[in-house]
Copies of this chain bind each other. A is one copy, B any other.
Amino acid sequence: MARLPVYLRALHALQERGVATVSSEELAAAAGVNSAKLRKDLSHLGSYGTRGVGYEVEYLVYQISRELGLTQDWVVAIIGVGNLGRALAGYGGFASRGFRVAALLDADEAIVGQEIAGMTVEHIDRLEDVIAERGVSIAVIATPASAAQSVCDRVVAAGVTSVLNFAPVVLSVPEGVDVRKVDLSIELQILAFHEQRKAGGPVEYEPAGDGDRPSDQAEYVEAVEL
């Protein structure tokens, strides 16, 4: 359920505004989805709504948080402390959602030892030790493409089964390991593709009317290198 985090964010916003109850229609609008879809998604977690009324915001926040595993803390290691790694290290959205960055690792001697976002960058040689000692369960790979697969192999060998990959390569991992990827350059390429079509470009194989509705925000992604 990749949409639950989006609902959760919308619910948090409502909570801050002091809203106690929402209808599927309202919440769906805030999350940018169709109301039937939202109801079906929520019904998978159980019947947390009240017919004729809607959903109680606070209760729903708790249920979704629990479903997503956000009621516990997750220990994250960031590997590769280039521009992107630095940006991730300083990202405030982690702690607030139960993600604790416990290590920054890099292979570059010039970077190792630097203080970033209140943490000292450690040498990649310590990777296995750090994962074991601090109980890292999610590895964020922000290395250059060339290093990504070997870093991935090492974190997997060290027992990590969740990887967020920012390097522009397809990582191969054994069954049971989850890899998600974020690739900026692919995002831009997809935008360029649509942009080209709009600009009265040559119509290639579809008649017309692709239909980009307002809330139809695409959800594919790709990665930044370094």
Please state if B190 and A180 are interface contacts (CB–CB under 8 Å): yes
A52 to nearest B CB, angstroms? 25
Q: Which chain B residue shows the least CB distance to A99?
A: B188
Q: Which chain B residue shows the least CB distance to A86?
A: B83
Residues of A197-226 contacting chain B, CB below 8 A: 198, 201, 204-205, 212-215, 217-222, 224-226
Please state if B214 and A173 are interface contacts (CB–CB under 8 Å): yes
If A32-B170, A174-B214, A192-B74 touch, does A184 touch B182 (CB 8 Å cutoff)?
A: yes
Task: Chain B residues near A161: list those with CB within 8 A.
Answer: 195, 198
Please state if B195 and A178 are interface contacts (CB–CB under 8 Å): yes
**In the bound complex, how far is the Cα of B9 from the Cα of A88, in angstroms?**
25
Please state if B86 and A192 are interface contacts (CB–CB under 8 Å): no
**Which of A's residues lie within 8 Å of B, judged by CB?**
1-2, 4-6, 8-10, 30-32, 44-45, 67-70, 72, 74, 76, 82-84, 86-88, 90-94, 97-99, 137-138, 161-165, 168-196, 198, 201, 204-205, 212-215, 217-222, 224-226
